A = this chain, B = another copy of it.
Amino acid sequence: MDFAHSPKARRFIERVAAFMADHVVPAEAEHRRQLKTGALPWNQPPVMEELKAKAKAAGLWNLFLPDEEHGAGLSNVDYAPLAELTGRSFIAPEVFNCNAPDTGNMEVLVQYGSPEQKERWLAPLLEGRIRSAFCMTEPEVASSDATNMRATAIVEGDEIVLNGRKWWSTGIGHPHCRFVIFMGLTDAQAHKHRRHSMVIVPLDAPGLVIERMLPVFGALHEPHGHGEVSFTNVRVPLANVIAGPGRGFEIAQGRLGPGRIHHCMRAIGVAERAFELMCQRALSRTAFGKPLAHLGGNGDIIANARMAIDQARLLTLKAAWMMDHVGVKGAMSEISQIKVVAPSVAQMVVDQAIQMHGGAGVCDDLPLTELFAAARVLRLADGPDEVHRALVAKLALKPYAAAMDASR
């Protein structure tokens, strides 16, 4: 198990770090100002387009794509430190065209898209000209159990008809959003892994209505946001089905692996950012005649955070390494492990950074409450902790169960 980064990766790390320091972080305030003072909060701030142009010109673009043709050709281990760096700033992922859910959608289209789908939807996504969303989770059922899904995608002649209600469709509020990938039930009688379809739906398809944008801990996350979307007899050509009807589950499985790892890598970045703020505060703020760092249990809090983050990063790298070497299926336990560990460590460290800051920690002088919400939500997105822990337990017990069976 080798976590050493390739020379190519090391050069990217240096360049992304420098770009973050020189361009992204200094632009955060302006981005926020433009959002707040724009005609509408749901407009794209011009500074984002400028940053994207710079990143593209610098070759720091689509780094997430393992495919050499479209992306940087980096392994998961090599991409990990880049994702962690972009996790430190809320605006960074879009700057580098590496933001969810577009990353997952691009991966799906690269791997399963027809030539026509690639030309019409993948190409502009790769160029950052449009954005997209993913419509899977439903408000009325526990989406942790995929068999609960109620939305339907019924084939009628050369069309497919979509009905249902989805929510937490991230990115659907973005002014550049042009399409969603919708998942629905096509054939309830088929084998349980062949029942669902994934369908490309233009945002302006009749019957697709964004019912509302959902706040996250009170924040709408403009300009991309998270939508609740209804589909009422939405008709699109059968050619919009990705890889053909019935292959939705298979695609979803493949899609979630790298996506979960990217999320977790960014969560490590969230934790490191909070850790940095906590340490700076602990050293600069004084009470009872000493810096906070030397008061009571604060040293333990810092040490425990350091150890938790370092372990979470190593576990994430292990999952990445396994994805690279044995594939999603072989890395299933590790992917679920980091999905539990990384957001939870990030939440804990942000919470402690808030505490170290007192009142300053809960207002918006610092990004801590935003980082908190990001970490907290990640414990639910892409499957709640509970589902992942259950999978880890199942896989951990497997060899012992097999041994017991063998000895009978």
* Contact call A288/B145, Cβ cutoff below 8 A: yes
Contact string against B for A residues 164-200, beta-carbon threshold 8 Å, 1 for contact and 0 otherwise: 0001100000000000000000000000000000000
The answer to whether the Cβ of A210 comes within 8 Å of any Cβ in the partner chain is no
Find out whether the CB atom of A389 lies under 8 angstroms from the CB atom of B139.
Answer: no
A18 located at the interface, meaning its Cβ lies under 8 Å from any Cβ of chain B in the complex: no
Nearest chain B residue, comparing its CB with the CB of A143 = B358
| Chain B nearest CB, measured from A147 CB (Å) | 8
Q: Is A232 an interface residue (CB 8 A)?
A: no
- Residue of B at shortest CB range from A286? B142
Q: Whole-angstrom distance between the alpha carbons of A101 and B373 in the complex?
A: 28
- Are A396 and B363 closer than 8 Å at their CB atoms? no
Contact residue among B167, B215, B296, B333 (Cβ-Cβ distance under 8 Å from A389): B296
Complexed CA–CA distance, A393 and B305 (Å): 9
Q: Does A304 contact B (CB under 8 A)?
A: yes
Picked from B3, B215, B358, B392, the residue with its CB within 8 Å of the CB of A380 is B358
Q: Which among A24-32, A107-115, A244-252, A307-315 touches the partner chain?
A: A307-315
Q: Can you list, as one digit per residue, whether each of A183-224 has a CB less than 8 Å from chain B (1) or not (0)?
A: 000000000000000000000000000000011111100000
Do the beta carbons of B310 and A386 come within 8 Å of each other? no
Interface string of A214-247 (1 = CB under 8 A from B): 1111110000000000000000000000000000
Contact A293 B397 (CB under 8 A): yes
Q: A168-B359, A307-B315 are in contact. List 16 more A-B contacts (CB 8 A).
A: A142-B292, A215-B363, A217-B373, A218-B369, A283-B400, A283-B404, A293-B393, A293-B397, A297-B299, A297-B389, A299-B389, A306-B337, A306-B393, A307-B341, A310-B315, A355-B384
A residues lining the B interface (CB < 8 Å) = 1-4, 137, 139, 141-145, 148, 167-168, 214-219, 275-276, 279-280, 282-288, 292-293, 295-300, 302-304, 306-307, 310-312, 314-315, 318, 333-334, 337, 340-341, 351, 354-355, 358-364, 369-370, 372-373, 376-377, 379-380, 384-386, 388-390, 392-394, 396-397, 400-401, 404
Cβ-closest 4 pairs across A and B: A297-B297, A142-B287, A314-B314, A311-B311
